[in-house]
Chains A and B, each alone.
Chain A
Amino acid sequence: MTHRPNPPSVPWQNGEMTMKLTSLAVGLTLAATPLAAQDVLTVYAPDYFGSEWGPGPAIETAFEATCDCDLQFVTGDPLQRLLLEGERTKADAVIGLNTDVTKKARETDLFAPHGQDTSDLTMPIAWNDDVFLPFNWGQTAFIYDNTKLDTPPTSFDALLAMPDDVKIVIQDPRTSISGLALMLWVKQVYGDDAQNAWEQLAPKILTVTKGWSESYGLFTDGEADMVLSYVTSPAYHIIAEDDLTKSAAIFEEGHYFMVEVAGQLKTTDQPELTQAFMDFILSPAFQTIIPEGNWSFPAKLDDSLLPEKFSLLNIPEKTLFYSEDQAAAVRDSALEEWRAALRQ
């Protein structure tokens, strides 16, 4: 059992801290040394995926048990790399894309249908996309320390009405997937009033960080009272640290839905093996790795199979979501509103 905590949607988070930090990138030659007879399946994934604490190693072991093949994750920013490589890419499949980039990924016309039945997923929204296949999901939420904050806000309005000395840390929508989700969340809750909402939130924002990790670090260091993270974040503290002091504040307006997807490439030279990997994604062998491997909800797994302590999480009743086209339509103007409100 790999018990490798990772926040739900870290794909960009690791990428986010690039530059001076993550980037170094090292490595001599190809990752593993495949046996000559084995087929190698190359899957592009975000950096967090391949790390010892990500879900990658467990998934690799589980999948290789079903085939005589070698699954290799190539980590980095998968879409960025794909866009640069175009049709010459060596990838067979890509895993760990977020819905905010699926539109761009789709437009490359490099992807083939996944061929799975997505009618009975365990997600709060219906999924009809036949190209991108979800494998885990979660919702954005503000996490607080329940020993320090007695009356957490129960709605977005209540959050905006809190005194200005309650400090929150959020992520930048330009550099972070969770920051982008927050921007879309506010847009969906407040619509044309979004800029006004941001203006009310502004004095409470301690700082805006590049990625999730920095924000979360500031929060656990005690610099901030609340942090923008995920509904499932407390699960890590509960299960791995036996710490029940972190909770998600549940807002009555609903919480923004975040999902990670996989897709297979048209250009693959081994379509059968790639298809086998796509078939594997929704299987219980893969899905049971997700809760404690990626600290998020599996896309297709009965609640009864979730770790027991997941029942201790605060779960929102309502889920908000923009389809990729809707999100693309509001994205730029929402960013301008965000920028204008926080610049003042």
Chain B
Amino acid sequence: MLALLLLFIFGTLLAVALRADDLSGLPSDFWPTVWFTLMQATLSGALSVLLAIPVARALMRRSFRGKALLIALLGAPFILPVIVAVLGLLSVFGRGGLLNTAVGWFGGDPVSVYGLTGILLAHAYFNLPLATRLLLQGWQDIPQGRVRLAQSLGMRGMAAFRHIEWPMLRDRAPGIFLAIFTICLTSFSVILLIGGGPRATTIELAIYEAFRFDFDLGKAALLALVQFAICGFVAVIALQTRLPQSAGSGVGHTTLPVLSNTKGIGAFDGLAIFLATAFLLIPLGMMLAKGVSALGDMHGAVWPAAIRSLVIAVASALGSVVMALALCLFALSLRRGAALIDGLGFLILATSPLVMGTGLFLIVFPFVNPTSVALWVTGLVNATVAMPFILRSILPALQQAERDHGRLADSLGLLGWARLRWMLVPRIRPALGFGAGLAAALSMGDLGVITLFSDPQRATLPMEMFRLMSSYRQDSAMAAALLLVGLSFGLFWLFDKWGRRYA
């Protein structure tokens, strides 16, 4: 398993590098590119995490009707295809969007989002949901006993925050920041849609340029290495700041650690939830409205593509869960296992999809016809690329379960399969469901890496959507996008619901 992952991550890079004529030559604007990549990824990660803290905290503390649905819906942007999400954002923040219409009423000058603003906006849009969900899980994982203790000690306000919530944030936030940083590090489609021009050039774009414009595999491989290096460098810094939570056991999940409940805080929570909902759901709603009005243009070829995508999504989600679980269990048996898993997760995220796709092609091509293994490769690659999210979701839950119940399980002689079945899976079920849902949805929306493996007769739904777009049929494409969003979300919802059923 580990070997397979390392093959995907480094083997593909090696394959590309070996095929290159020489390994020299960085692009002329290398340093500005590195600087811009670092800056936008850092800002995007920081922004997403900082915004997510009040939202997750508010969601944790308040209970209201439809909360579960809202939490699920708030996850939707993360699984949207880039073009759909960005067109949605533009219908709110764009030149002709709601915002500028409103500004126009008051006689203001139009606001332009193109450039760094737009990039940060889009990255926050995609990643705020992820950060919120992961933080929410952090809050839920705070042991109940600790909250009760705090309550009985009469801790309130800042003191409670400092002793109960802050340690959790110190533990979780750096990792979440790093995950989002790395996602944004390899971001490429967003930047080329809303970035405004060559000022906004990232390393991933430079890799693309090396492949497409220069046909220079050596340059591409070198840039991919730089990308790994940056990710590694930032990982070291971010994880240094991390304070693992000291062991503290307690039973079950807390529901409402409302330690201070003044009016002001209630209003603040309400505002945080309201703003996040508006920010995340209005653009989505605008796109859905467009898709619904275009439903009549839904093209017949879209349906078989949708079924193909569904099958791949479910298969790769299951594959991804199995691989992630196996890896985590293996890692927990090692002394520095958690660090290994963390590192691996980030390596996968930092992998350039282009390099991975090309490398795989080079590895496979001498042995079989790449088109004939397209399905397998696609499933495997999707499973691999989705894995960091599952790892990030289940590892803390697994560690917690081991901390809380490990000794008891040991004393009962609960080992191996039985331990997994009776002790671990029930405890990590929410995390598992969430991770699998995310993996399925991401795979549905296409994490694909493999243009080189495509088979024209068997397109997937995102492929079909893009073909429609590139044949002037924007309306039909939006209808297909609606279907895509609906299916992705449906899958995510089902898996997530499974996870939370007994939680």
What's the count of A-B pairs with C-beta under 8 Å? 275
Instruction: Tell me the minimal C-beta distance from A302 to chain B in angstroms.
Output: 26
Alpha-carbon separation in the docked complex, A18 to B152 (Å): 57
Instruction: Specify the chain B residue showing the minimal Cβ separation from A89.
Output: B365
Known A18-B354, A75-B456, A207-B193; judge A216-B472 contact (CB<8 A).
Answer: yes
Of A29, A53, A88, A172, the residue contacting B467 (CB under 8 A) is A53
Residue-wise interface mask of A (317-344) relative to B, using a CB-CB cutoff of 8 A (1 in contact, 0 not):
0000000000000000001101100110
Which B residues touch A210, using CB under 8 A? 188-189, 192-193
Whether A268 sits at the interface, judged by CB under 8 Å, is no
Known A26-B312, A342-B199; judge A83-B215 contact (CB<8 A).
Answer: yes
Of B189, B450, B456, B477, the residue contacting A31 (CB under 8 A) is B456
Which B residues touch A52, using CB under 8 A? 299, 301, 467
Of A23, A73, A335, the residue contacting B456 (CB under 8 A) is A73
Whether A214 sits at the interface, judged by CB under 8 Å, is yes
Known A18-B354, A223-B95; judge A26-B197 contact (CB<8 A).
Answer: no
Which A residues touch B463, using CB under 8 A? 21-26, 47
Instruction: Specify the chain A residue showing the minimal Cβ separation from B305.
Output: A26
Alpha-carbon separation in the docked complex, A50 to B362 (Å): 23
Instruction: Tell me the minimal C-beta distance from B369 to chain A in angstroms.
Output: 7
List B146-179 residues whose CB lies under 8 Å from chain A.
none
Alpha-carbon separation in the docked complex, A18 to B82 (Å): 12
Are A47 and B212 within 8 A (Cβ)? Answer: no
Whether A305 sits at the interface, judged by CB under 8 Å, is no
Of B90, B455, B465, B469, the residue contacting A25 (CB under 8 A) is B455
List A134-191 residues whose CB lies under 8 Å from chain B.
167, 172-175
Are B466 and A27 within 8 A (Cβ)? Answer: no
Alpha-carbon separation in the docked complex, A19 to B189 (Å): 8
Are B466 and A221 within 8 A (Cβ)? Answer: no
Are B451 and A343 within 8 A (Cβ)? Answer: no
Are B452 and A81 within 8 A (Cβ)? Answer: yes
- The size class of the interface chain A forms with chain B is 35 or more
Whether A28 sits at the interface, judged by CB under 8 Å, is yes
List B192-211 residues whose CB lies under 8 Å from chain A.
192-199, 205, 208-209, 211
Of A22, A50, A51, A224, the residue contacting B471 (CB under 8 A) is A51
Alpha-carbon separation in the docked complex, A5 to B95 (Å): 29
A-contacting 9-mer, from B236-244, B370-378, B492-500:
B370-378
B-contacting 9-mer, from A6-14, A115-123, A257-265, A307-315:
A6-14
Are B215 and A104 within 8 A (Cβ)? Answer: yes
A-contacting 9-mer, from B343-351, B386-394, B409-417, B441-449:
B441-449
Whether A38 sits at the interface, judged by CB under 8 Å, is no
Are B470 and A7 within 8 A (Cβ)? Answer: yes
Alpha-carbon separation in the docked complex, A335 to B83 (Å): 26
Of A75, A205, A208, A221, the residue contacting B454 (CB under 8 A) is A75
Residue-wise interface mask of B (324-364) relative to A, using a CB-CB cutoff of 8 A (1 in contact, 0 not):
00000000000000000000000000000110011001100
Whether B460 sits at the interface, judged by CB under 8 Å, is yes
Whether B366 sits at the interface, judged by CB under 8 Å, is yes
Are B82 and A20 within 8 A (Cβ)? Answer: yes
Are A19 and B353 within 8 A (Cβ)? Answer: yes
Whether A298 sits at the interface, judged by CB under 8 Å, is no
Alpha-carbon separation in the docked complex, A214 to B466 (Å): 10
Residue-wise interface mask of A (196-208) relative to B, using a CB-CB cutoff of 8 A (1 in contact, 0 not):
0000001001111
List A38-64 residues whose CB lies under 8 Å from chain B.
47-54, 56
Q: Which of A49, A74, A213: most chain B Cβ within 10 A? A: A213
Known A18-B354, A83-B215; judge A54-B452 contact (CB<8 A).
Answer: no
Are B467 and A84 within 8 A (Cβ)? Answer: no
Known A26-B455, A73-B456; judge A343-B199 contact (CB<8 A).
Answer: yes
Whether A125 sits at the interface, judged by CB under 8 Å, is no
Are A20 and B189 within 8 A (Cβ)? Answer: yes
Which B residues touch A218, using CB under 8 A? 87, 90
Alpha-carbon separation in the docked complex, A53 to B477 (Å): 12
Alpha-carbon separation in the docked complex, A102 to B440 (Å): 40
Alpha-carbon separation in the docked complex, A221 to B89 (Å): 12
Instruction: Tell me the minimal C-beta distance from B370 to chain A in angstroms.
Output: 9
Are B472 and A27 within 8 A (Cβ)? Answer: no
Are B470 and A213 within 8 A (Cβ)? Answer: yes
Instruction: Tell me the minimal C-beta distance from B364 to chain A in angstroms.
Output: 11
Are B353 and A23 within 8 A (Cβ)? Answer: yes
Instruction: Specify the chain A residue showing the minimal Cβ separation from B444.
Output: A24
Which B residues touch A1, using CB under 8 A? none
Alpha-carbon separation in the docked complex, A6 to B467 (Å): 9
Are B451 and A23 within 8 A (Cβ)? Answer: yes
Which A residues touch B357, using CB under 8 A? 23
Alpha-carbon separation in the docked complex, A220 to B473 (Å): 10
Are A207 and B197 within 8 A (Cβ)? Answer: yes
Whether A96 sits at the interface, judged by CB under 8 Å, is no
Whether B457 sits at the interface, judged by CB under 8 Å, is yes
Are B371 and A223 within 8 A (Cβ)? Answer: no
Which A residues touch B452, using CB under 8 A? 25, 76-77, 80-81, 84
Which B residues touch A19, using CB under 8 A? 188-189, 208, 353-354, 448-449
Are A240 and B472 within 8 A (Cβ)? Answer: yes
Instruction: Tell me the minimal C-beta distance from B205 to chain A in angstroms.
Output: 7
18 additional contacts (CB under 8 A) given A25-B451, A75-B454: A18-B451, A21-B81, A21-B466, A22-B454, A23-B357, A24-B309, A24-B447, A25-B463, A26-B309, A50-B457, A77-B212, A83-B215, A104-B215, A174-B208, A207-B118, A207-B196, A214-B469, A223-B94
What are the 7 A-B residue pairs with the smallest beta carbon separation, nearest first? A27-B455, A50-B456, A24-B448, A27-B458, A23-B448, A25-B454, A53-B471
Q: List 12 A-B contacts (CB under 8 A).
A: A6-B472, A10-B471, A14-B466, A23-B357, A26-B458, A27-B374, A31-B457, A75-B454, A167-B95, A174-B205, A214-B193, A335-B213
